[in-house]
């Protein structure tokens, strides 16, 4: 059943004025500035922290079983092959890094720097984790 109009419609400005008046009457006030007493954690920072956790866990697994490093090297080789002649620079960096001694690789993969965070975004080390381990890390960083 259509609604019957009984009065002249309000202008948009009048609707906003009445809305604001109702809000004031209810004790609400407009927020014009964001203030937080806790540090702001963006989704990007949470993703970086999760990536670091993946790499710390992967580093522990490789330290316990060094043969997993061969799997990481094979993964990078497969990814490079897929890209052909123009692979991303980060994959070439990983290929070079994985040829170094393991302590050096582990230190770089778990480093707290922007460059290490950039490298972790295309890392073969996180592929060494089982689905259960990955799920456990994701669950730990769920908001």
Q: What is the pLDDT of residues 4-51, one digit of tens each?
A: 777 788 888 998 899 888 888 887 776 666 565 556 667 788 888 889
CA–CA separation, 131 vs 66, rounded Å? 20
Structure tokens at 17: 């004025």
- Read off the tokens for 62: 């490789």
Q: In this predicted model, which residue has the larger pLDDT, 58 or 141? A: 58
- Flag whether the pTM goes above 0.75: no
Q: What is the mean pLDDT of the chain?
A: 85
State the pLDDT at residue 93.
93
């Amino acid at each position: 059943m259509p609604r019957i109009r009984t009065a002249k419609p309000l202008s948009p400005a009048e609707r906003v004025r009445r809305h604001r008046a109702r809000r004031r009457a209810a004790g609400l006030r407009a927020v014009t500035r964001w203030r937080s007493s806790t540090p702001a954690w963006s989704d990007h920072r949470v993703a970086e922290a999760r990536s670091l956790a993946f790499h710390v866990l992967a580093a522990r697994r490789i330290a316990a079983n060094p043969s997993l490093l061969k799997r990481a090297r094979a993964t990078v080789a497969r990814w490079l092959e897929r890209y052909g002649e123009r692979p991303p620079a980060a994959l070439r960096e990983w290929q070079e890094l994985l040829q170094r001694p393991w302590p050096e690789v582990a230190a770089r993969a778990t480093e707290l720097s922007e460059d290490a965070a950039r490298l972790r975004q295309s890392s073969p080390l996180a592929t060494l984790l089982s689905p259960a381990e990955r799920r456990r890390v994701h669950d730990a960083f769920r908001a």
